[in-house]
A and B are shown apart, each in its own frame.
Chain A
Amino acid sequence: MNKIFALASVVIKELYRRKDFYVLFVLTALLTVAAGAVNFFHDEKIVRYIKDICLLLIWVSALIIAIVTTARQIPAEREARTIFPLLAKPVSRGQVIAGKFLGCWLATGVALLVFYFFFALIVGSREQIWPVASYLQALWMQWFMLAIVIAMVLLGSIYFAAPSSTTTITFVAVIGLLLLGSHLKTIALQQPEPMQSVLTAAYFVMPHLEWYDLRDFVVYDLGVVPLRALALATVYASAWTGFFLGLTWLGFRRRSLNT
């Protein structure tokens, strides 16, 4: 376990040395503050549009950080040939995968904490209420959704030729899952056979990332999600993450590391 944490700490250090996070955070902060500065009908209490915009930016930024950071981990090690001295140490390929995943996931978690702290500060200063439980649930769910995404990217980075293709394909896949996830069954029911069966099967087989989007609960002040549902969603995300990491390990273990 220590080896996995050691590998993860390298990834975390990489995140705060690179400029991606800072640029995205400053951009999010600037756009949110600019949106908050707009005066609509001289009403200072209007706040939901700011929450909406800020949360959307947080989602986009977190996805970019998670996907871009993860996509370059293994290809960069292979390109720079640092993977050889790394594997020459008593570290298995499975531990490398686990370490890379944990590093990316924790790094994304730290970034999310900073984003949500900023969000709470901006909204709290305007609304004068602090629904901490709701924010924590939204953060938790987003973080677990990102665990699935990071595992997917790691899997892609084993098979796709370059980090850019992994990034693009994962972005398209994640956005597709988020937008269509809950509607695929409805679409399937409107199709003739065999398309109906194919889409229905896809609906049951794909990871339902849309469950992890609790923005509406935060924006419209709808309170908190039942804890049982939250726990089950966490288990579901863990299962999918484990599945993707398992596939990554299977692929990586027999892969030639020469570029």
Chain B
Amino acid sequence: MKISPLLLLAALLALAFTLATGLASRAENWSRRTKSDNIFSMMFGDGRKLFANQFFVMADVYFHSGYYPSIFDKKAEGEKEIISASHGNKESEEDEKKEDFLGQPKDWIDAFGRNFRVTQHTHLENGNEREVLPWLRLAAALDPQKIETYTVGAFFLREHLKRPDQAELFLREGISHNPDNCDLYMELGRVYFESYHALDRARNVWELGIKKYFALKPDEQKDNKIIYEGFLVRLGYLEDAAGNEARAIERFRAAQAISPNPQALQQQIDAVQKKLDAQLPVTPQKLF
């Protein structure tokens, strides 16, 4: 029996179409990748997290305008400078020396080669901090569980670029992926308190952060004690700014109880107490 090739092609097409209608709904459940709304997770799966750290490092490289040690250079251990900068830490002379990974030229080739490479330790400033943002955005897309990406990005957006709206959006994206992380609530509260001066919203966010802290396991609470202290101190400042001095003192005292440096907080308490004492006592007035 001779079958026409056209008929055979039509039969194969019909078979493919019929199978597709039946299999399409099942195929959706075969892989979680296709369900992802993120192109990176669709392409790389969980392997994308390997690249996320590299992009975070790229942000740090940009922050130093290319002055960055390679895998062959000796570098002082510790947290990345882009992270410590986002915590508001300024670099001391000693830190500068520690970061001088190049040292003295090893020979004439090394000395001459330094004409063609970045040899000065600088940090981005004057709004140029924006240049780190693409790498942080990519790192967040690749690993949504990497908390530093959101906190560092939000810090630069809020503090240096004066874009609290974008900082808030970025942090909310982080919270949607990591709803129980205290750091993100801390940073979001700072956006409301320091940029918008929205005291009630900041208070609500930080109090929610404290609730999240107490929802942690006991050993995790121990590790994150500094965050809890941070919440209490910031709430103290917030209450002071809101004119609730008594409440501020209460917050500072609670922070003092767990702080490694209670003396500094005592000064804060004294200052607020002084303010409280200076207020005129309310004299009862005659209504009639």
Q: Do A and B come from one complex?
A: yes
Q: Is B97 at the interface (CB under 8 A from chain A)?
A: no
Considering only residues 182-231 of chain A, those with a C-beta below 8 Å from chain B are 182-183, 185-187, 189, 203-204, 208, 210-214, 216-217, 219-220, 222, 225-226, 229
Interface pair B72/A41, CB less than 8 Å apart: no
Tally of A-B Cβ pairs under 8 angstroms: 82
User: Interface size of A by Cβ–Cβ distance < 8 Å?
Assistant: 35
Chain A residues whose C-beta falls within 8 Å of the C-beta of B268 in the assembled complex: none
Interchain CB contact (< 8 A) of A216 among B66, B73, B109, B137: B66
**Which residues of B lie under 8 Å from residue A183 when comparing CB positions?**
70, 72-73
Bitwise, B72-111 to A at CB < 8 A (1) or not (0) is: 1100000000000000000000000000000000110110
Q: In the bound complex, how far is the Cα of B195 from the Cα of A74, in angstroms?
A: 67
Interface centre among B62, B109, B161 (most CB of A within 10 A): B109
- Interface stretch, picked from A12-20, A45-53, A95-103, is A45-53
- Known: A208-B109, A211-B116. Contact between A40 and B133, CB under 8 A? yes
Please, which residues of chain B bring their CB within 8 A of the CB of A47? 131
Which B residues are CB-close (under 8 A) to A106?
A: none
Contact indicator A216/B118 (Cβ below 8 Å):
yes
Which residues on the B side are within 8 Å of A203 (C-beta)? 109
Q: Is A232 an interface residue (CB 8 A)?
A: yes
Question: A-facing mask of B153-191, CB < 8 A → 1, else 0?
Answer: 000010001010010001000000000000000000000
The answer to whether A45 touches B115 (Cβ under 8 A) is no
Is the pair B116, A213 in contact by a Cβ cutoff of 8 Å? yes
Interchain CB contact under 8 A, B134 and A46: yes
Docked Cα-Cα span, A182 to B107, in Å, equals: 11
19 other A-B residue contacts (CB within 8 Å) besides A49-B134, A222-B118:
A40-B137, A41-B170, A43-B130, A46-B133, A46-B134, A141-B116, A182-B117, A183-B70, A185-B110, A204-B107, A210-B113, A211-B113, A216-B65, A217-B116, A217-B118, A220-B65, A229-B116, A233-B115, A233-B116
Please list the residues of chain B having a beta carbon within 8 angstroms of any beta carbon in chain A: 62, 65-66, 70, 72-73, 106-107, 109-110, 112-113, 115-118, 127, 130-131, 133-135, 137, 157, 161, 163, 166, 170
Sorted nearest first, the 4 A-B pairs with minimum C-beta distance are A229-B115, A220-B65, A183-B72, A216-B66
